[in-house]
Amino acid sequence: MTSTPAERREIETEQAYVDTVYERLDASADVARSLVAEGFARGHIGHEGGLVERDAMVFQATRRLTALNAAHDGLVFGRLNLTTGESRYIGRIGVRDAEREILLIDWRAPAAAVFYQATAQDPSGVVRRRVLRCSGAQVVGIEDDLLDADSAPDDMVVVGEGALLASLSRARDSTMHSVVATIQKEQDEAIRAPSRGATIIGGGPGTGKTVVALHRAAFLLYTDRRRFESGGVLVVGPSSVFMNYIERVLPSLGETSVTLRSLGQVVDGITSAHHDEPVAAAAKGSARMVRVLARAAAAPLAGAPTEFRYFYKDDVLRLDAARLDGLRRHLLHQSSRNRAHPRVPAVLVDALWQQVAGERALEKGREGFTDAIVDDPRFVDFVEAWWPAVDAVEIWRSLPDRLAEFAQGEFPREQMDALRASWAGGVPSIEDVPLIDELRYLIGEVPPEHDEDDDTPKQLMSFERREREDAGDRLRSTRSIDDDGFAHVLVDEAQDLSPMQWRMLGRRGRHASWTIVGDPAQSSWPWPEEAAAARAAALDGKPEHVFRLSTNYRNSAEIYDVAAQVARHAIPGADLAAAVRRTGEEPEHLVVAPGQLVGVARERAEKLLGRVDGTVAVVAPRARVAELTAELSETLRHHERLRVLDGLDTKGLEFDAVVVVDPDAIVAESEAGWRTFYVVLTRATQLLSTVGPTERWREVSRGGPRP
């Protein structure tokens, strides 16, 4: 890029300042490194205090070092010239000189807020706002906004075309980047909102909801580090692809303590990455599942004995099915299944003792009876079989066989069939994770394993045994539910959460503040009212503070025009954002014979790869993803920046160019097909191509009847 002599002179001046800041950063890193070394040396002092001191010292110094390293790239990105003549530099972290004078202000500090808030209409004392573009420690460009021309000194230089546009036109790579240098006013307001209650961030596609939410997490940690670091910040997004996409943003802002989980990973010990078919997914996500699972949690396990006979002295003691059922209800009335587990032997002994009538037995008394029975293998075996400690996953596994018994007509036949079929692989889907979590809370923690010194009878833990035999650790034990609470829960793409997923997150955020980010028009959940009720229950009356973002920074105006046209006709009430960037590239729409579809899609993808420097996606109906992946296998091998995905997996992502394969089939895929299609159309930053054997979607977007 060519630069003017004036710009070059300004760059030189800024470089000198930036160099000074880096020298101080390096000096701080040296101090942190020597503290780590000193800390380790203390470990050799030999007494316990030395080890504790070492741990604390090494921990703090390592953390500081990590933050300093993370802030290295693009450390200094902003400068404010104020009407007072003062100049302030803004950066990823705060840096002071040897005399403790401020060299660089952390972007999250109150003194930096004006960098984002000042406008030409309300300059708030700012004459010039300057964004420094850096490559590593090198200043490579400058973008200025003159906000108060009347107060500018005569020799003030103003260069560049505007930092925001320069940043929006960059090629996309596989990860999201921080936008700390170009956060816009309405975004800054949402980022800096107080942490009380629930902060709701809405807005159309590409308005920066995700990136704003992540900067907000960094802001919260800065303002109340003790609370949020010790309590934990949980960030939840739709898929692992999405989590990989956003995972670098917070570390690049110096924050590494945030827990990032996709919806399939929220429950410790379970990792799920695949969705169920839409019909099963809708049934599993529905609030009706709460009742189904409650019945499953309370029912006797399949194959549990229905009778117990015990011969004691001259008596035959008998617990028949009705009595056992009564005892089961009594135990479950008082606590959850697993919490009741240690009390089971005593309750059974009690019930049996009530039947003892023989003289010899009565002579020995209740204590004699208890001593005799609790170690008797017949009794121990019965207890183990009747009331084993049970893991939630084990109950989840048993559901398809007993679905009719537990569902009791909650679901129509089509959903029942789809539900049963969805268990076929034996591996939990993303939609299963909230069900397993619900069961964990219903049945309680798996009690600790038998301790030799403990005289309660040893219980069968069949699932745990099977688990240990499991080769992989995809399904580690889900036994502990103690550590689920967080201090802040941030939910992205919240419009897609099912009622069951809201319940799962609600359990993690009972005492938390929340940030909830979403756009209802992009929802793939078919019953929004049910989800809204579950969301309200998860928030449990916490006050809501609503922010709306209005500018689409992702799509070219040409691409967003097509998507917005679809939304206007197919998605009532869609919140349409204003796309500001024109590229002169109109999207192309191809209609081809069904037999040519895959070949043409490949050819378009290859063409687009040649036209953009960044990422390209081929988005297809679920049923065709494998076929297209095979067709493009050679191209995929040579181009890491090419991806083949289904519509749902594109949630939250963006690419420089997108080929949409068979749009009408994507629309027909589920009840929320139009909204998924809208998501797909709004993924491209520069070029969009649609290829299909039909074009009904275009007729609808021109105002034709919605099929």
Ligand X SMILES: Nc1ncnc2c1ncn2[C@@H]1O[C@H](COP(=O)(O)OP(=O)(O)OP(=O)(O)O)[C@@H](O)[C@H]1O
**Which residues carry a binding-site annotation for ATP?**
203-210
Tell me how many residues contact ligand X (CB under 6 A): 23
Report, in Å, the least distance between residue 624 CB and ligand X: 23
519 binds ligand X (CB under 6 A): yes
Report, in Å, the least distance between residue 123 CB and ligand X: 19
Report, in Å, the least distance between residue 641 CB and ligand X: 15
Cβ atoms of 59 and 115 within 8 Å: the answer is no
CB-wise, 58 or 235, nearer to ligand X?
Answer: 235
CB-wise, 208 or 278, nearer to ligand X?
Answer: 208
253 binds ligand X (CB under 6 A): no
Closest CA to 214 of 517, 538, 519: 517
Cα 609 to Cα 245, 618, 639: the distances in Å are 20, 11, 8
Give residue 183's Cα distance to chain centre.
22
Q: What is the 3-state secondary structure (H, E, C) of 44-61?
A: HHCCHHHHHHHHHHHHHH
CB-wise, 166 or 427, nearer to ligand X?
Answer: 166
Stretch that binds ligand X, among 88-96, 137-145, 178-186, 321-329 (CB under 6 A): 178-186
CB-wise, 340 or 549, nearer to ligand X?
Answer: 549
206 binds ligand X (CB under 6 A): yes
**CA distance linking residue 358 with residue 372, whole number of Å:** 15
Strands 126-135 and 138-146, sheet pairing: antiparallel
Report, in Å, the least distance between residue 683 CB and ligand X: 8
Find the distance separating the first CA and the last CA of the chain, reported in whole Å: 50
Q: Residues at the annotated binding site?
A: 203-210
Cβ atoms of 313 and 412 within 8 Å: the answer is no
183 binds ligand X (CB under 6 A): yes
Contact pick of 75, 134, 142, 164 for ligand X (by CB under 6 A): 164
CB-wise, 457 or 647, nearer to ligand X?
Answer: 647
Cα 126 to Cα 115, 119, 130, 161: the distances in Å are 8, 9, 10, 18
Report, in Å, the least distance between residue 242 CB and ligand X: 9
Stretch that binds ligand X, among 58-66, 192-200, 205-213, 642-650 (CB under 6 A): 205-213
Contact pick of 81, 195, 210, 272 for ligand X (by CB under 6 A): 210
CB-wise, 116 or 386, nearer to ligand X?
Answer: 116
Stretch that binds ligand X, among 206-214, 392-400, 480-488, 623-631 (CB under 6 A): 206-214
Q: Which amino acid, residue 73?
A: D
- Long-range pairs of 322-327 with CB within 8 A, sequence gap ≥ 24: 323/351, 324/386, 327/351
Residue 685 structure tokens: 């930053």
Cα 638 to Cα 285, 608, 620: the distances in Å are 39, 14, 21
Stretch that binds ligand X, among 207-215, 277-285, 356-364, 656-664 (CB under 6 A): 207-215
- φ, ψ dihedrals at 244, nearest 5°: -65, -35
Report, in Å, the least distance between residue 555 CB and ligand X: 9
Strands 198-203 and 544-549, sheet pairing: parallel
Contact pick of 91, 345, 652, 663 for ligand X (by CB under 6 A): 652
Instruction: Report helix, strand and coil shares of the chain as percent, to nearest 5.
Output: 50, 15, 35
Strands 76-82 and 655-661, sheet pairing: unpaired
Stretch that binds ligand X, among 76-84, 135-143, 181-189, 346-354 (CB under 6 A): 181-189
Contact pick of 133, 488, 554, 604 for ligand X (by CB under 6 A): 554
Residue 43 carries which DSSP code?
Answer: G
- φ, ψ dihedrals at 646, nearest 5°: -95, 170
Closest CA to 462 of 292, 238, 301: 301
Report, in Å, the least distance between residue 622 CB and ligand X: 20
Binding to ligand X in span 668-707, by CB under 6 A: 682
Residue number, nearest CB to ligand X: 208
**CA distance linking residue 323 with residue 346, whole number of Å:** 15
207 binds ligand X (CB under 6 A): yes
419 binds ligand X (CB under 6 A): no
**CA distance linking residue 160 with residue 178, whole number of Å:** 21
Cα 221 to Cα 103, 106, 227, 256, 314: the distances in Å are 22, 13, 8, 10, 71
CB-wise, 279 or 579, nearer to ligand X?
Answer: 579
209 binds ligand X (CB under 6 A): yes
Contact pick of 103, 168, 372, 580 for ligand X (by CB under 6 A): 168
CB-wise, 478 or 682, nearer to ligand X?
Answer: 682
485 sits in the region (left: phi over 0; alpha: psi -120 to 50; else beta) called beta
179 binds ligand X (CB under 6 A): yes
Report, in Å, the least distance between residue 525 CB and ligand X: 15
CB-wise, 167 or 223, nearer to ligand X?
Answer: 167
205 binds ligand X (CB under 6 A): yes
Report, in Å, the least distance between residue 250 CB and ligand X: 13
DSSP assignment string, 310-377: EEETTEEEEE-HHHHHHHHHHHHHHS-HHHHGGGHHHHHHHHHHTT---HHHHHHHHHHHHHHHHT-H
Contact pick of 119, 167, 462, 565 for ligand X (by CB under 6 A): 167
Strands 233-237 and 488-491, sheet pairing: parallel
Stretch that binds ligand X, among 149-157, 204-212, 230-238, 468-476 (CB under 6 A): 204-212
Report, in Å, the least distance between residue 37 CB and ligand X: 39
CB-wise, 369 or 678, nearer to ligand X?
Answer: 678
Residue 270 carries which DSSP code?
Answer: B
Stretch that binds ligand X, among 74-82, 180-188, 448-456, 480-488 (CB under 6 A): 180-188
Stretch that binds ligand X, among 209-217, 334-342, 453-461, 480-488 (CB under 6 A): 209-217
Contact pick of 151, 187, 199, 650 for ligand X (by CB under 6 A): 187
Residues that bind ligand X (CB under 6 A): 164, 167-168, 179, 182-184, 187, 203, 205-211, 519, 522, 553-554, 652, 654, 682
